[in-house]
Structure 1
């Protein structure tokens, strides 16, 4: 292995944005990755989640801003590459988005470059399923829709990526139902309530959407 190859693998393990750019190249062959200040800001916020400085993070950005590749694909791959024991639950509004994000995550962690950069990451036999990837040391990335089951699941990290449906913008009844699903199912899934982290990312749908609900709840505390 050349010195340049060793250096690049070292950068993949230590520089999250270098890692993100490589993930982008895997998922979008031939496309040009365009870095920007908002991607750097998200990466810095995730770094602070990584080291335990932040345990609750909300990222509000418009569609097509690169949010999902950073937060729902690259970040879980990064965490599991460094510690394959990490347990991650990724929540989205519907099954199609759950499946799409899970497939992109698998494409990253199954790539040759990823396996070379993170040799301790290994998938359990039979551990690659449509919405879940399980490591040999029982870590996982588990994708689930807002209305799906998390029975028996625990997590070190919960990521909500567009967790509320577009219909929630138009219907108070839908908002209430989806907010209840979130509050009754997901925050309690953190194994360590003091150290576990929740990251919520998406566009705003309504002043009383999930982000608005959480902001109001914090104001009342």
Structure 2
């Protein structure tokens, strides 16, 4: 290394950084794909990269990333992570799936641009694309046999195995309100996708989505359990600690915005007005409500048809047990009401009524 010029020394270190650090790789890939647009760093991008690195290392086999729209989740996971994973594991197969083939092939085309970029070739000189297999549907590594396949959610996997499956935007927003379509997506993932891993013990799946419905795919996966969940609402409802790699933690405060440099409080309020509170809470806050109203609705409350006079009671106490998790098998939310009765001869009642 002592014989290298400063420029060569910098290039060698940059190549090493891109090989080992997904966040740096995501940044460089963004500059490649979107020249002239500033890359604005954020803690949440580091959090995404940290979890995806854990997938590549085999520490996490099921990862669910839930983010508001337009926050680079597709760039990080479907595009950059797919090529970084393939570059580090050139004999493996990566499948990228989206709600339709066009979107999946768009991500594939962006991945190809990264793989063919000079800086990428410098960082991974062993990686050679096969020109005979470099289409929108499949990119193949010539000298190792690995490949990246693009397909639609619900598409066939016939004759194709996978080591890593990335499912990004699994359902269109309009289709999320169709129970039949939600069932199709969930059944495809829990039957077809899971059965296609070349190594079932090590095969990994990443689902990247925004919340659209209380019974959408992320909701079903979280209810089923077994998934590492990175859920990042636009406005933090509570304080939390979020790992960002290298032993570092992002202490996100209550009401802290996800990326204020891009979407500040005023912009979020404008989005809320345009979308409406129902859609905003689902897509930006990951708090979808049932289509017929919120979880607790006034029409479900009954009334006591023989109310007793208020002055007959010294106190009224309510105790609530909140179990507001959607699902037909979950516990009820219960409220019990207690009243302390005052006998007619009570001195307290006489004093109160005087």
TM-score (norm 2): 0.60
Shift of residue 96, structure 1, vs aligned partner: 1.8
| SS of 1:9 mapped into structure 2 | helix
- Number of aligned pairs? 220
- Select between 172-181 and 114-123 the one with higher mean Cα deviation: 172-181
**Are 1:174 and 2:162 counterparts?**
no
- Once residues 89 and 135 of structure 2 are traced to their aligned partners in structure 1, the CA distance between those partners, rounded to angstroms, is 20
Shift of residue 71, structure 1, vs aligned partner: 0.5
For residues 111-158 of structure 1, give each alpha carbon's deviation from its aligned partner in whole angstroms, at most 9, with x where no partner exists: 111111101111124010112101122211101001322111111111
Please identify the structure whose Cα radius of gyration is greater.
Answer: 2
Shift of residue 83, structure 1, vs aligned partner: 2.0
- Once residues 50 and 97 of structure 2 are traced to their aligned partners in structure 1, the CA distance between those partners, rounded to angstroms, is 22
Residue 190 of structure 2 aligns with which residue? 183
Answer whether contact 1:80 1:121 (CA < 8 A) is retained: no
| SS of 2:225 mapped into structure 1 | helix
Residue 156 of structure 1 aligns with which residue? 163
- Select between 203-212 and 1-10 the one with higher mean Cα deviation: 1-10
- Once residues 25 and 125 of structure 1 are traced to their aligned partners in structure 2, the CA distance between those partners, rounded to angstroms, is 25
Structure 2: unaligned runs, 5 residues or longer? 1-6, 227-328, 330-354
- Once residues 82 and 215 of structure 1 are traced to their aligned partners in structure 2, the CA distance between those partners, rounded to angstroms, is 30
- Once residues 57 and 207 of structure 1 are traced to their aligned partners in structure 2, the CA distance between those partners, rounded to angstroms, is 19
Residue 203 of structure 1 aligns with which residue? 210
1:8-19 equivalent positions in 2, closer than 5 A:
8-19=14-25
- Once residues 172 and 94 of structure 1 are traced to their aligned partners in structure 2, the CA distance between those partners, rounded to angstroms, is 18
Residue 75 of structure 2 aligns with which residue? 69
Shift of residue 24, structure 1, vs aligned partner: 0.1
**Are 1:5 and 2:17 counterparts?**
no
Structure 1: unaligned runs, 5 residues or longer? none
Residue 30 of structure 1 aligns with which residue? 36
- Once residues 131 and 8 of structure 2 are traced to their aligned partners in structure 1, the CA distance between those partners, rounded to angstroms, is 32
Answer whether contact 1:168 1:209 (CA < 8 A) is retained: no
- Once residues 141 and 20 of structure 2 are traced to their aligned partners in structure 1, the CA distance between those partners, rounded to angstroms, is 21
Residue 78 of structure 1 aligns with which residue? 84
**Are 1:46 and 2:52 counterparts?**
yes
- Select between 113-122 and 166-175 the one with higher mean Cα deviation: 166-175
Q: 1:88 aligns with which of 86, 91, 94?
A: 94
Q: By percentage of residues, which structure has more helix?
A: 1
Answer whether contact 2:94 2:165 (CA < 8 A) is retained: yes
For residues 174-194 of structure 1, give each alpha carbon's deviation from its aligned partner in whole angstroms, at most 9, with x where no partner exists: 212222233231111111111
Shift of residue 91, structure 1, vs aligned partner: 1.0
**Are 1:104 and 2:110 counterparts?**
yes
- Once residues 128 and 86 of structure 2 are traced to their aligned partners in structure 1, the CA distance between those partners, rounded to angstroms, is 10
For residues 14-67 of structure 1, give each alpha carbon's deviation from its aligned partner in whole angstroms, at most 9, with x where no partner exists: 221111111000110111101111101111111111111111100000111110
**Are 1:132 and 2:138 counterparts?**
yes
